[in-house]
Amino acid sequence: ASLGYGVAKGLGALANGSSKVTPEIRELANAAKSKWGIDITAPQIVNNRLLNTAQSVVKDVPFSGAGKFVEKQQVQLNRAVAKTMGESSDNVLTAIDKAESRLGAAFEKTLSGNKVVVNDDFINGMVRVSKDAESELTEAQLGVLKRNIENILDATKGSGEIDGQAAYNIKKGLDRLSKNSDSSLAHYGRELRGELMDALNRSLGKEEAAAFKVVREQYKNMLTAARVVSRDAEGNIPMGGARLVDAAKKVGASDLEELGRISNQFLRDKTPDSGTARRLVGASLLAGTAGPNALLAVPAARVANSAMTSQTARNLLLNGSPLLKGAANKANLLLRPAAVEA
């Protein structure tokens, strides 16, 4: 079977309903496009072995255009992650640097310009953190955490509130604790900092509290992305895998968790062993050629890539339209001649 015939057959399988799209997958795919601007293809949406293999193999064919499409998806994912921290950039490392400077200034302005009310909610929150820590930390670790709690209580000076500059200094100390090389101590440092930020939020007026909530969310997303981003010149968020999901879940970063699920569900290569002899043989078989002649499949690969990355096919698939069958038949007519020429 040729590459063109294989892709057309795969699209035909979708049209005939042999590959089903669950409501959860449909919702996630729609969010990828409408909310985050990430183009997802029909083969990435469904679990169709033939289409998955074809898309993976075509990616390695020079001049097919498939590699460029993958690069575009990487940029779209990077931009979506940058958006969660209030930035616009193709490079997540650049976005993190900009966000850190901007959000740091926003924290300083809000903290230094307002008093933090130390009420029962704040006290109970600190007690919760302390009790949770007692079951995990050593005496030495607990000593560090409790000194930070004492600093907060001392700063109230019996007035029931902390003035802005003192609150900002306490927050900077908790920032350092949250980055401690001791992961357990760092975790409780972040928990205590969260209680301080919650108390500040309760102390602000309605509009200022709403604005500060956005700043906190962006800051949380920035720290989460920093734990996942590749430390190279491109500053990419890895496509596929569960690292972003896991990192986001730990801190309750819901937007980044959704992006992680999108990446893991759709953007990972579902055909393993990229570049091995097994995939090269697969390329030959799909192209209807043998050995080095697989490179002659470039025209077919270009048409196949166009069909598989078509957003029309994706939309028809998600909408469950009967027009998909007609699209599959059209793809069959277009792809077979291209494969023959190859």
What would the pLDDT profile of 167-222 be if each residue is shown by its tens digit? Answer: 889 998 999 998 899 999 999 999 999 999 999 999 999 999 999 999 999 999 99
Q: What is the mean pLDDT of residues 247-252?
A: 89
Listed in sequence order, the residues at least 6 apart from 2 whose beta carbon sits closer than 8 Å to its beta carbon are 286, 287, 288, 300, 335, 336, 339, 340, 342
Q: Kindly report the average pLDDT of the chain as a whole number.
A: 79
Q: What is the mean pLDDT of residues 248-271?
A: 89
DSSP for 184-219, please give it. HHHHHHHHHHHHHHHHHHHHS-HHHHHHHHHHHHHH
The rounded distance, in Å, linking the Cα atoms of 13 and 106 is 53
> Exposed/middle/buried for 118, CB within 10 Å: 0-12, 13-18, 19+?
buried
Cα→Cα distances 330→10, 292, 333, 334, 337, Å: 13, 30, 5, 6, 12
Percent of the chain past pLDDT 90, that is, above it, reads: 46
Q: What is the mean pLDDT of residues 241-261?
A: 91
Number of residues that this document lists for the chain: 342
Q: What is the mean pLDDT of residues 135-145?
A: 93
pLDDT at position 43 is: 79
Confidence band (pLDDT; 50, 70, 90) for 70? confident
pLDDT at position 287 is: 47
The rounded distance, in Å, linking the Cα atoms of 4 and 8 is 6
Q: With residue 269 as reference, give the H or E element that holds it.
A: none
The rounded distance, in Å, linking the Cα atoms of 262 and 284 is 31
Confidence band (pLDDT; 50, 70, 90) for 67? low
Beta bridge partners of 252: none
> Exposed/middle/buried for 207, CB within 10 Å: 0-12, 13-18, 19+?
exposed
The rounded distance, in Å, linking the Cα atoms of 85 and 225 is 9
pLDDT at 267 over 50: yes
| Residue keyed to tokens 């709403």 | 210
Contact yes or no for 31/258 (Cβ under 8 A): yes
Contact yes or no for 254/121 (Cβ under 8 A): no
pLDDT at 320 over 70: no
Q: Which of 300, 287, 297, 292 is nearest to 337 (CA)?
A: 300
Confidence band (pLDDT; 50, 70, 90) for 250? confident
Beta bridge partners of 117: 161
Confidence band (pLDDT; 50, 70, 90) for 232? confident
pLDDT at 89 over 80: yes
Confidence band (pLDDT; 50, 70, 90) for 165? confident
This prediction has a pTM of: 0.73
Six-digit token pair at 269? 């290569």
Contact yes or no for 279/57 (Cβ under 8 A): yes
* Helix 206-226 × helix 183-203 angle, to 10°: 160
Enumerate helices (H) and strands (E) in the chain, giving the number of each.
17, 2
Q: What is the mean pLDDT of residues 8-21?
A: 55
What would the pLDDT profile of 30-43 be if each residue is shown by its tens digit? Answer: 999 999 999 988 77
| Residue keyed to tokens 């879940």 | 249
pLDDT at 329 over 70: no
Q: Which of 227, 171, 162 is nearest to 194 (CA)?
A: 171
SS3 154: helix
